[in-house]
Structure 1
Amino acid sequence: MVKISISLDAELVVEAMVLSGAGNPQDAVELVVRDYIQRGHRTEARVLEQDEALHDRTARPRDVEG
């Protein structure tokens, strides 16, 4: 995997370290980014399930009442 270097505000990194429980800045930022990506995937999955459920409800033919 290719690695990159970026500059971040020290207070931001310290906050990420505290929230993630990581002992060094590199691990803290990596954990935060991975968590953000995983949350995005979970959100996409939930939205897809809701869309499919809505589609299933609207695609069914309605019973004719007589």
Structure 2
Amino acid sequence: MPISNYSVASTSSGIKMTVSTTYPCVHVNMGSWLNNLTGKANHVYERYSAFTLQCRGLSDAINQVR
């Protein structure tokens, strides 16, 4: 399978993250469910203060013909 690269970057902090995967899609979760959630060292996470790039198979894979 081919390898795909996905990148996200912050113009304010200069942080950049690149993910390489052989999975066919990447799901982006924008952290909308975070609502003053307390994490490690009592850090409080507000809505949209974090995100994930989740490499995965197709959600409707059972309907895909190869």
Assess same fold via TM > 0.5: no
Q: Quick check: which one's helix share is greater? A: 1
Query: TM-score normalized by structure 2?
Result: 0.25
Q: Quick check: which one's strand share is greater? A: 2
